[in-house]
Chain A
Amino acid sequence: MLTILFDGIAYGMLLFVLACGLSVTMGLMNFINLSHGVFSMAGGYITAFLINRWGVPFLLCLPLAFLFSAALGMVLERTLYRRLYARSHLDQVLFTIGIVFMAVAAVDYVIGSQQQTVKLPDMLKGRVDILGGSIGLYRVFIIALCGCLAVTIQMLLVKTRFGSQLRAAVDDPRVARGMGINVNTVFAITFAVGSGLAGLGGALGTDILGMDPTFPIKFMIYFLIVVTVGGTSGITGAFFASLILGIADVGGKYYVPQIGAFIIYALMVVVLIIRPQGLFSRSRGK
């Protein structure tokens, strides 16, 4: 029981790290980006590559995965995504699906369609007993790391100057520009950090979620649920949405395997009926 709860929390935390960048760009900036999973895939693959080919230690791979995905996100934002902020939602959907398809086929072509595996360091293997439940050390590691990240991100958004600039730029780009905030740079940095976090999540999740070329398509619905269920109130909503989704998914698949896969869709429908604007929302004019 406790084991499953912990697994669910770890899964949820992982989803949060994967999707929190998206909850800012998609939830707050209202830019529909279905290609977020591509950055996670990039992070997962670079980690697998570094560990298996060059024997780089796992813990060193994590920041590298972050940097790699962030750089990729930055380049793509500057060259492509930037043009789409002002376009219609249909255009954004078509464009980002196109990116997903290209990435999936390209990875399949270059690397192959098999599952990627990463060898975890010995100190993260094994299990510990906490409160009478046996929990994998790696899960504990994920919960601790992602918890720290969540607190850091929240602090960055709420306490720092950059956080205020971002919130201002999201609320009203024109006025923010008038106040001397460089909105383009703020958006570019946000996008890069969000992609980097996705890459980090992909690196961390390779062992738990699995990593193959179809990853961006398989997890598209999870990302969408986290962002919509979380609502447009910032990352707090996304955090709780991820936790609920993670626990429900893991618990559902364990206790009622026949219908386990449907739990998340049922959850989505229920939330939508009770709170159409998401669990945590502030009223906006739109």
Chain B
Amino acid sequence: MSMTPTAHQMMLDQARWRWSESLFWLLSLGVLFAFPSKALLFSQIAIMGLFALSLDLILGYGGIVSLGHAAFFGVGAYAAGLMAKHGLGDPLLGLAGAACVAACIGWLTSFLLLRGSDLTRLMVTLGIALMLFELANRMASITGGADGLQGMMVGPVLGLFSFDLFGKTAYLYALSVLFVLFLLARKIVHSTFGLSLRAVKGNALRAGAIGISASSRLVAIYTLSAAFAGIAGALSAQTTQLVSLDVLDFHRSADVMLVLVIGGVGWLYGGIIGAILFTLMQDWLAGITPQYWEFWIGLVLVCLVLVGHDRIGAAVKSMVARLSGKGGAA
């Protein structure tokens, strides 16, 4: 009898639901009752967390560095916003619509990503985001252009809970959506598909040699990630009742990368933890220097790389593991 666990066992072990995870989600629900006045901030965190989660799917699991992930966030936001403006105010319908539109664009553009190197991918993702920004800017009659989309009428969630001024419904709604999609993403990355994706990321040539087609995997995960980002955008549009050109801005793509990297790449909680740290930092810094906020983002990025974000990500992970009594098993 050997003591080394088989690969099968190891994978099952990785996929197992830990009690610390339950604690995490209960806590995230609990903060609403502890700090009800901060509900709007919390819903921002949940939305940012979902957005970063969607980036983690392609960056952490697919190995695609994207400079234009805001494209899907923005498309989702505009889709949900336009639906709400033109009488389709049901929030869940809006989410579904946003997911479909974003997934379509993700699917179409994913084929451009299959060609060429990281450099080409950077150009394509950035180019697509800029193109959509320009498109939204030009079609001012539909999108409201630089003034933003106005006159959204968002109905109550499930026909029961209408959005209140303090953001309580907004947070519960955003958190539930995040939780459901998180479970879905967790299921997917631990499935055979997720494992094959990891093989492709590790070495596409070898993965091909054992019969895993890299292209179809990347197309699938990119489309899925686009849909997730679209839903995040839709959530943002519905909870704030506002869509402006800002949703497609380059800064948003850079911010979400920073968020994910703070929390750790290739680990679904990374995006959510990063979103918490990032939003709290933003809230705090905006109080000090509202205008030159991007300088601090830049500084954090530079320092993060010089220190080594892998190390910080690993530190966060091992801290969580220690808290859950696993003693750095992550």
Contacts and interface: CB of A to CB of B under 8 A. Distances in A.
A42 interface: no
Contact of A89 (B65, B128, B138, B293): B65
A87 to B, nearest CB: 8
A275 to B, nearest CB: 9
Interface in B232-253: 250
Contact of B294 (A27, A93, A101, A265): A101
Interface in B281-324: 291-295, 297-302, 304-306, 309
Given A94-B301, A94-B305, A98-B299, A227 B127 contact: no
Interface stretch (A52-60, A64-72, A217-225): A217-225
B123 A268 contact: yes
Contacts, number: 119
A221 B126 contact: yes
Interface stretch (A104-112, A121-129, A197-205): A104-112
B112 A265 contact: no
B294 A262 contact: no
Interface in A1-48: 26-27, 30, 32, 34
Interface stretch (B32-40, B89-97, B254-262): B254-262
Interface residues of A, number: 45
A138 to B, nearest CB: 28
A102 B302 contact: yes
Given A221-B126, A261-B134, A94 B294 contact: no
A221 B302 CA distance: 21
B157 interface: no
Interface string A82-93: 011001011101
A136 to B, nearest CB: 27
B127 A268 contact: yes
Contacts of B135: 262
B122 A98 contact: no
Interface string A257-281: 0100110010011001100110000
Most A CB contacts (10 A, CB to CB) among B65, B135, B258, B299 go to B65
A149 interface: no
A262 B298 contact: no
Given A101-B298, A220-B126, A224-B119, A94 B261 contact: yes
B131 interface: yes
B127 A102 contact: no
Given A91-B309, A94-B305, A100 B115 contact: no
What secondary structure prevails in chain B residues at the interface with A?
helix
Interface residues of B, number: 42
A190 interface: no
A265 B116 contact: no
B117 interface: yes
Contact of A272 (B116, B134, B261): B116
A100 B118 CA distance: 20
B59 interface: yes
Contacts of B88: none
A105 B292 contact: yes
A137 to B, nearest CB: 32
A227 B118 CA distance: 12
B301 A101 contact: yes
A277 B123 CA distance: 13
Given A109-B292, A265-B131, A228 B119 contact: yes
B277 interface: no
A189 interface: no
22 contacts: A34-B122, A84-B305, A89-B65, A90-B59, A97-B298, A98-B302, A98-B305, A100-B298, A101-B295, A102-B298, A105-B295, A106-B295, A108-B292, A221-B123, A224-B127, A225-B123, A258-B138, A262-B135, A265-B128, A272-B115, A272-B120, A276-B120
Q: Which 7 A-B pairs have the closest CB atoms?
A: A98-B301, A101-B298, A105-B295, A102-B298, A276-B115, A98-B302, A224-B123
Interface of A: 26-27, 30, 32, 34, 80, 83-84, 87, 89-91, 93-95, 97-106, 108-109, 217, 220-221, 224-225, 227-228, 258, 261-262, 265, 268-269, 272-273, 276-277, 286
